[in-house]
Amino acid sequence: MNLVLCPLSVVPVRREPSDRAELVTQWLFGETAEVLERRIPSQGSGWSLLRFHHDGYEGWVDNKQIAATQVATFPKAPRSVAAFAWYDHHLLPFGAVLSKVQFTSAQDRTSDRLTGPPIERILAVMDQWMDAPYLWGGRTPMGVDCSGLTQALFMIAGTSLPRDAYQQAEVGTHVDLIDLAQEGDLAFFDNAEGRIVHVGIVLSGKRILHASGRVRIDTIDQQGIFNAEEKRYTHTLRSLKRVL
């Protein structure tokens, strides 16, 4: 069983093969992966190290939460869920992937129903994410981190992004100044050591959609993100990229 599929709504992916290990991302219903390593102890089901087809990320998943599949690659234009939907006793989260057969019964809630330019598709579903709680490694409106949010929304726009913020910063065309940024550009922010640790989506009116404590909209300028509630800059701008 080298090729596997996620059979559950949301599956946790760990840094190490243990339920106590750090959550690094989530695997969503219908997404596929390649098994890199499998550990089966004398008792229990064990764990598998997977490489996910949709973004190349790697992590450990409990073998009880894995199903075999013949699908060799992740589709370039997946029929992904654009709103919570029920299918076969599963509550599918935003971003779950449907096959052609599954798509027929849930098509009113999939990305195929969205039309217009990529940024318009992002804006059409953005409200579903507002105030979603921050969750390190999260990829759904039930809990999401900054790069999980941008990855999910860009998938709806038809663009695949890597999983982490520093990886996403390597994609696209550089934009010199915030005054030159367009709606839909990605903004990246670094820490005191110069490492990129945060990402958000630039909106009109020098605003930014990002996940910090919760999914929220703040203002952005050349210095960074200004949180009006806290009356201070919370993130320092490092770079801007145009991907769409």
Residue 146 annotated to the active site:
yes
SS3 for 216? Answer: strand
Whether 210 is catalytic:
yes
CA 137 to chain centre: 9
Place of tokens 């779950």: 96
Active site residue 6: no
Catalytic residue among 6, 53, 54, 146: 146
Which residues have a Cβ under 8 Å from the Cβ of 79 and sit 6 or more positions away?
Answer: 97, 98, 99, 100, 103, 107, 110, 111, 112
Q: How many CB atoms lie within 10 A of CB 198?
A: 24
CA 177 – CA 239 distance, rounded (Å)? 8
Of the residues 53, 54, 210, 235, only one is catalytic, namely 210
Q: Report the sign of the C-alpha dihedral through residues 67, 69, 73, 75, in that order.
A: negative
Helices (H), ranges, 107-200:
118-125, 146-156, 165-168
Q: Which residues are known catalytic residues?
A: 146, 198, 210
